[in-house]
Amino acid sequence: MDSEVVKAIKLAVRTKKQELEYYRKAVGKTKNLSGRKVFSYLAEEEEGQLNALKEHLAKAAGESWLPDEKSFSKSACRLRRSRPKSVVPKEVLPDASDLDALRQAMEIEKKTIDTYTDAACAAGDKKAMKVFNYLIESEKEHMKELEIQYAFLKSEGFWYDNELTPS
């Protein structure tokens, strides 16, 4: 496996571990069942991606991994600033409301996207850029879910759930 791909996956593994830990803590601190479902879903997503990344790193399957993914567009690099120092805070805010937890989660996703974008901009290897593009797109989907939940909770006063049950 190319060394840049290995570096990309190792960075992603470290970041995914931090995100997973945050979402697991958020599940325990969120009082509402629908909110816990959202954070549980995000934790499962991060755990699945973490396991896949670890597996690919262990198998050194650089050639065959992400063959259909589109590559990262370097045009995204023109307006970049430096990478955030820390992606995930050490703690879920101690007395956080559900809105606070969602705001913090959105900030984590934004910083993660920035971290992967910076790493993709610095990468010279097309396979490494594909890895980062895959991760960026995944984090953008998480961000959309969090934004929907935040908007709904803020405007309606309860979490969005398929059952639409206020608690």
| Mean pLDDT of successive 10-residue stretches along the chain, which has 167 residues | 78 91 90 90 92 78 54 66 61 73 91 89 83 90 94 88 49
Residue 124: the pLDDT is 79
Residue 21: the pLDDT is 92
Pick the CATH number of 3-61+96-156 from 3.40.50.300, 1.20.1290.10, 1.10.10.10, 1.20.1260.10: 1.20.1260.10
Q: What is the model's pTM?
A: 0.78
Residue 78: half-sphere exposure toward Cβ, Cα within 13 Å: 3
Residue 148: the pLDDT is 93
DSSP the chain: --HHHHHHHHHHHHHHHHHHHHHHHHHHH--SHHHHHHHHHHHHHHHHHHHHHHHHHHHT-TTTSSTTSPPPPGGGGTT--PPPS-SS-SS--TT--HHHHHHHHHHHHHHHHHHHHHHHHH---HHHHHHHHHHHHHHHHHHHHHHHHHHHHHHHSS---TT----
- Sign of torsion, CA 122 126 128 133? positive
